[in-house]
Amino acid sequence: MIKHSILILFFGTILILGLTGPSQGPFDQRRDPVPSTQKVAHSSHCAGCHGFDEVGEALVDAQGKDINIYDDWQFSMMGLSAHDPFWRATISHEVNQYPAAKAEIETTCLKCHSPLGSIQSHLTGKPYSYATMLQDSLGLDGVSCSSCHQQPARNLGKGQSGNFTIDTNRIMFGPYPNPFQGPMQIYVGFNPVFSDHIYSSGVCAGCHTLITKTLKDDGTPSGDFFVEQATYHEWVNSSYPAQGKECQNCHLPFIQDSVVVATDFKALKKRYPFGLHQFFGANTAMLSLMKNNRDSLHLLLTSPNRLWDESIKNNRLSISRAATLSISPLQVFDDTLYFEITLKNKTGHKFPSGYPSRLAWLQVVLTDPTGTDTLYANGILDKDGNIIGRDLPYEPHHQESKSSDDVQIYEMVMSDLQGHLTTRLNAAFKPLKDNRLLPLGFNRNHEVYDTVAVWGEALTDPDYGIASTSGADIIAYKLPLNGNQGLANLHVSFLYHSLPSRWMNDLFTDDTLSQVAQFKSMYEGYQLFTELISKLDIADIDLSTTSTRDISNSSQIMLYPNPGTDNEVFIKFPDSFGNIQSIHYDLIDLNGMIIQSGSTNNKVWLNTDLKPGLYYFIFYTDQRYLGIKPYSKF
């Protein structure tokens, strides 16, 4: 009787306020509350109030554009996580390699790609397998509403590998004070509660810190562990927590428009700021692949292309903001073009981050002014999607690129217990290389450094050093001109690939497995699917010997007397260099041999046995190159 009275009172309130209940929408919505035995909610229970509003009053921005939560989420990699064919193929591949560890491999993977099915199953004491997920609507729901909005403030940020806390009291935490509770209580059977912890990066920690057990060849644990990804810890070891910048600031970008956050309840007040549930990321390749193969994946067959395209566009916009590219003054001497590239990481974590297949690299191309003749190429893909010049088993980190084979590739490379390169997650023992761009403020003395460490040759690069917190990498390039004279155009691109061929080649050795074979058939053409992050084009470079092109318009270093007759050379550095404490120099001859080296502030004493002739001073600090100046000794 009490329950009936509450219902009558609620619907009476609706009539008094001129409200209506949720109406049927264009997708498969649920009209009944979540079953009492179920502690998490399928997204279809949320769609009725947080999906598309046919009258255009709710979940629209100030310009009337539809920004409904359900559609934006549904076409993101969060909404599609359980259907990802690369992930499904990888599980099949790993289990085939380690059949004795099948249950543990699947359990670990499902906790993050199929969290609600996994959580509900384990709450009832039942195991949860990949085969179970395929028949489970909760599992196929991906990383849906309850995965985040049922995480309480307690233990936030402490979870890892899919082990995070869920409040099982049928509560949904939201960002707005004094929520109108009645509709969710009646139609869903959950209680909306305000808590601003939902804005915290800690909500992301449980799945974006993934530590796996290293397995021996027979599938038994070696006793070792491998940090497959630690995006949350990368953010922790950056400047952004202190600035109050959370994961949501970039990946669920806030708009300041006031928005009615639920449909069909006209008396609801507008709320702000509103976080777009578009989950901006970088996986345009997978979104495109899934869109083009949605029939084979039995996925959202009636979905309009515009929703897929909008998700792809948002991810492309996100990755275009990941880093900036700049170049030093260009110098030509002794048939060589010299310059430095500076990359600055603009993300709140390493770049690339997340799954270790992902890589980014620099492509440098020098052509004649018409673009028809290539004079130099570094970082070009061949027809199979392989980076030409890449060393085997992997390309080392470079502080200096002296040839077209010295390609700067930012990646994490894994090794197994025998020290061999591997792409199998459960074989991974330690990195051979991790030179991914560091976030601003990264510190090698931070308490979480062991999970986000730098590995390989990058350890000796000052840009990755203990004192380096700039979130940047500087690479010196020396382009051999091979006698080419006249004018040339330089093209520098920073590129990204989430599904590179070198990773897929190992996976496709198991193409007799149905999931691997299916993904392999979809992958054709995607080996060349790269994203452009940043680009520089410089036209009409004079390749004449001793030419200088200062594209930054900064003042030049001055040497005097030049030409000189004695052994004392004075140096004036431009104000734009700032207060540099220690400047180093190399004096080289026309054969590129270093004749003399040292440090200076404003004067160099030349060796007394220096013969008359033309030389070049190269100036640099521990962190960066400063410039090259010709010097004549009479």
- pLDDT number for residue 22: 37
Instruction: Say how many C-beta atoms besides its own lie within 10 A of residue 560's C-beta.
Output: 10
pLDDT above 90 (res 423): yes
Span 601-616, average pLDDT: 89
pLDDT above 80 (res 215): yes
* Measured distance between the N- and C-terminal CA atoms of the chain, rounded to whole angstroms: 108
Tens digit of each residue's pLDDT (9 = 90 or more) over 573-599: 887 777 777 899 989 887 667 889 999
Span 332-350, average pLDDT: 94
Distance CA 75, CA 397 (A): 36
Domains of the chain with CATH codes? 25-319 (no CATH), 322-542 (no CATH), 554-633 (2.60.40.1930)
Angstrom CA distances, 219 to 100, 140, 167, 222, 505, stand at 6, 28, 34, 9, 22
Q: In the chain, pLDDT over 90 holds for what percent of residues?
A: 79
Span 247-256, average pLDDT: 96
The answer to whether the bond into 393 is cis (omega within 30° of 0) is yes
| Whether the Cβ atoms of residue 287 and residue 312 lie closer than 8 Å to each other | yes
- pLDDT number for residue 20: 38
| Whether the Cβ atoms of residue 148 and residue 203 lie closer than 8 Å to each other | yes
- pLDDT number for residue 631: 86
Span 482-488, average pLDDT: 92
Angstrom CA distances, 117 to 103, 123, 405, 414, 419, stand at 15, 10, 48, 30, 37
Tens digit of each residue's pLDDT (9 = 90 or more) over 255-307: 999 999 999 887 899 999 999 999 999 999 999 999 999 999 988 766 789 99
Give Cα 402 distance to the centre of its chain: 28
- pLDDT number for residue 562: 87
Distance CA 90, CA 284 (A): 19
Residues 51-60 as b or e (16 or more Cβ within 10 Å = b) = bbbeeeebbb
| The amino acid at 624 | R
Q: Which residues pair with 572 in a beta bridge?
A: 558
Distance CA 283, CA 260 (A): 30
| Whether the Cβ atoms of residue 325 and residue 341 lie closer than 8 Å to each other | yes
Confidence of residue 473 (pLDDT cuts 50, 70, 90): very high
- pLDDT number for residue 315: 97
pLDDT above 60 (res 553): no
Q: Which residues pair with 274 in a beta bridge?
A: 255
List phi, psi (to 5°) of 294.
-65, -25
Q: Between 466 and 152, name the one with better pLDDT.
A: 152
Distance CA 381, CA 390 (A): 10
Tens digit of each residue's pLDDT (9 = 90 or more) over 393-411: 999 999 999 999 999 999 9
* Helix (H) / strand (E) containing 572: strand 568-572
Confidence of residue 549 (pLDDT cuts 50, 70, 90): low
Question: According to the 3-state scheme, what is the secondary structure of 474-519?
Answer: EEEEEEECCCCCCEEEEEEEEEEECCCHHHHHHHHHHCCCHHHHHH
Span 439-466, average pLDDT: 95
Tens digit of each residue's pLDDT (9 = 90 or more) over 119-153: 999 999 999 999 999 999 999 999 999 999 999 99
- pLDDT number for residue 547: 57
Tens digit of each residue's pLDDT (9 = 90 or more) over 517-529: 999 999 999 999 9
Give Cα 413 distance to the centre of its chain: 16
| Whether the Cβ atoms of residue 457 and residue 434 lie closer than 8 Å to each other | no
- pLDDT number for residue 294: 93
- pLDDT number for residue 257: 95
Span 363-385, average pLDDT: 96
Span 203-219, average pLDDT: 97
pLDDT above 90 (res 11): no
Lowest mean pLDDT among 15-29, 34-48, 463-477: 15-29
- pLDDT number for residue 626: 80
Confidence of residue 621 (pLDDT cuts 50, 70, 90): confident
pLDDT above 60 (res 26): no
- pLDDT number for residue 145: 98
- pLDDT number for residue 250: 97
Strand runs (DSSP E) across 368-498, as ranges?
374-378, 400-401, 409-410, 412-415, 421-422, 430-434, 472-480, 487-497
pLDDT above 90 (res 458): yes
Residues 460-488 as b or e (16 or more Cβ within 10 Å = b) = ebebbeeebbbbbbbbbbebbbeebeeeb
Summary mean pLDDT of the chain: 91
- pLDDT number for residue 615: 84
Tens digit of each residue's pLDDT (9 = 90 or more) over 156-192: 999 999 999 999 999 999 999 999 999 999 999 999 9
pLDDT above 80 (res 36): yes
pLDDT above 50 (res 76): yes
- pLDDT number for residue 592: 65
- pLDDT number for residue 16: 37
Nearest to 198 by CA among 273, 146, 148, 159: 148
